[in-house]
Structure 1
Amino acid sequence: MMKISTNSKKDVYIHAAIITLLLMVLFFGFFFVYLPWSTNHGDAITVPNLKGLTMEEAENLLDERNLDFEVTDSTFTAGVKPLTVLSQYPLENSKVKQGRKIYLTINTETAPMIKLPKLTEMSVRSAEQQLLVSGLLKPDLEYQNDSRQNEVLEVKFEGTKIDAGSLIAKGSKVTLVVGNGTNSVEMDVPCVVGQLYDEAQIVIKGSGLQIGTVIYDPTSTEPAGTIIKQNPECENGNKVHSGDMVDLWVAGNPPN
């Protein structure tokens, strides 16, 4: 039997260091080399990517690799075919043993019904964002002559007008009817010359027109607040569209 010399404290320290080093090598070798190797050796399987596959395709692919599956959740995603895999666990390229169960989340077969949000009187961009947040697809746009440019006038689904609060399948596409900024209906220019400014405002706005630039003339001999000129003029058969501007010249000084 080999004897270890311990004639001095130095020999004892050397031998203790050697023994400690050997124990550390054995420890790390067992836990970080042998154990992982023995655990995965011969039966480690790479998990395939199942996202986007139908249930039948996913099942066939897992069968080929001796893996099992279980559907643990279902949700609805617009634009994705029913019964399509949305997510999986373990993730693709994970190493697992034969027979391991892969947990799947799939797209539901039937879309849930949701309430159509209020979209009228909104801008096209705001309405599109509201639809996407609600789980509906980006809408088609239908423009019509109206002075309310890029404003949603009404909403259609499958050619029929629908109101806010109507039930519609999640993932559906609606059509937004939007004003193009013009009005095809022409009208005569109302005459407001000689009227007081407050009266002229009522006439112009009541005709579907807007007050444009207002210019005051302190040199006018007409009573203060009287309309002395307008543009466009109401003579010579001038025509305007709904929403057009009418500029006014007013006698006197502007109000403080």
Structure 2
Amino acid sequence: KMRTKEFFGKFCSKFLIWNLVAMALVVILLVVGVNYGLDWYTHHGESIRVPNIEGVRIAKAREMMDELGLEIVVTDSGYNKRLPADCVLSQNPGPGLTVKSGHTIYVTINSSNSPSVAIPDVVDNCSYREAEAKLISLGFKVLPPQYVTGEKDWVYGVLSNGRRVSAGERVSIEQPLTLQIGSGQYGADEELNLIGGDDATMQSGNGEVDDFEEVKE
């Protein structure tokens, strides 16, 4: 006959083995479940090629992204007068790259209004070439200069649509500018001042004209 001690020993041994087997199965099921869950959550193995939406109006671009399961977010705006307003100027990620479903595409759209820029301090502060270079670098179109009396090529004013503008005033970059520069010629008053300055050298310290004695041989 089997003793009680032997019976419980065999029972516990079998019970322990089945417990270990059951635990192993649970661990395997958990690993498989987590793996499939991550694949489903991250869309593992699923890739979507990002379409080119540059130049496309934002409303149409949203429709295209919705059909592909992608999100679109506007992060900035720019200005290009050759393109219609509200169209996409740039996108990130770029066209042709592959992303997963639900990925967000960040875009910059074209503004309907041209930006305005502050006029730099160029009046009576720099030459024509320097002022022209500064304005062009800011995006302005500079028309041929308007000549005024004064020092040659020195800037005396900035005109926008015939109106004089001051430093710091904001002007649309679509509005051409005209620089008023010196022609190198002076007005009658300035010429008289120059002549008066020469005559002054002929006067004595008390402001009277010196008397000259004619020398005869």
Query: Where on the TM-score scale, by shorter chain, does this alignment land: which range?
Result: 0.5 to 0.7
**Corresponding residue to 2:177 among 169, 175, 191:** 175
Q: CA deviation at 1:64?
A: 6.0
- Cα separation, 1, equivalents of 2:103 and 2:128: 50
**Corresponding residue to 1:127 among 131, 138, 148:** 131
Q: Which residue of 2 aligns with 1:137?
A: 140
User: Is residue 2:58 matched to residue 1:55?
Assistant: yes
Q: Which residue of 1 aligns with 2:201?
A: 196
User: Is residue 2:102 matched to residue 1:95?
Assistant: no
Which whole-Å deviations, capped at 9, do the CAs of 1:57-80 have from their partners, x for residues lacking one?
A: 533544565543121x22334646
* Structure 2 residue identity aligned to 1:87: S
- Structure in which a larger fraction of residues adopt strand: 1
Q: 1:69 to 1:144 in 2, by over 3 A?
A: same
Whether the aligned pair in 1 keeps the contact of 2:149 and 2:187 (CA below 8 Å) is: no
Q: Which residue of 1 aligns with 2:76?
A: 74
* Structure 1 residue identity aligned to 2:104: K
* Structure 1 residue identity aligned to 2:156: L
Which whole-Å deviations, capped at 9, do the CAs of 1:68-101 have from their partners, x for residues lacking one?
A: 3121x22334646532323322122211234533
Whether the aligned pair in 1 keeps the contact of 2:128 and 2:179 (CA below 8 Å) is: no
Q: 1:198 to 1:142 in 2, by over 3 A?
A: farther
Q: Which residue of 2 aligns with 1:108?
A: 111
- Cα separation, 2, equivalents of 1:193 and 1:152: 28
Whether the aligned pair in 1 keeps the contact of 2:141 and 2:175 (CA below 8 Å) is: yes
- Cα separation, 1, equivalents of 2:62 and 2:197: 79
Name the larger-Rg structure: 2
- Cα separation, 1, equivalents of 2:177 and 2:89: 28
**Corresponding residue to 1:83 among 81, 86, 90:** 86
Q: CA deviation at 1:120?
A: 0.9
Whether the aligned pair in 2 keeps the contact of 1:143 and 1:177 (CA below 8 Å) is: yes
- Structure in which a larger fraction of residues adopt helix: 2
- Cα separation, 2, equivalents of 1:195 and 1:99: 86
Could you state the TM-score of these two structures normalised by the residue count of structure 2? 0.53
Q: 1:105 to 1:181 in 2, by over 3 A?
A: same
User: Is residue 2:163 matched to residue 1:160?
Assistant: yes
Q: CA deviation at 1:156?
A: 1.5
Whether the aligned pair in 2 keeps the contact of 1:150 and 1:179 (CA below 8 Å) is: yes
- Cα separation, 2, equivalents of 1:168 and 1:46: 42
Partner SS state of residue 99, structure 2: strand
Larger RCO: 1 or 2 (CA < 8 Å, sep 6+): 2
- Structure 2: which 5+ runs fail to align? 1-42, 205-211, 213-217
- RMSD of aligned residue pairs (Cα, Å): 3.8
Q: 1:194 to 1:101 in 2, by over 3 A?
A: closer
Partner SS state of residue 156, structure 2: strand
* Structure 2 residue identity aligned to 1:146: T
* Structure 1 residue identity aligned to 2:130: S
* Structure 2 residue identity aligned to 1:104: V
Percent of aligned pairs with the same residue? 23
Q: Which residue of 1 aligns with 2:23?
A: none
Q: Which residue of 1 aligns with 2:21?
A: none
- Structure 1: which 5+ runs fail to align? 1-37, 200-221, 223-256
* Structure 1 residue identity aligned to 2:100: K
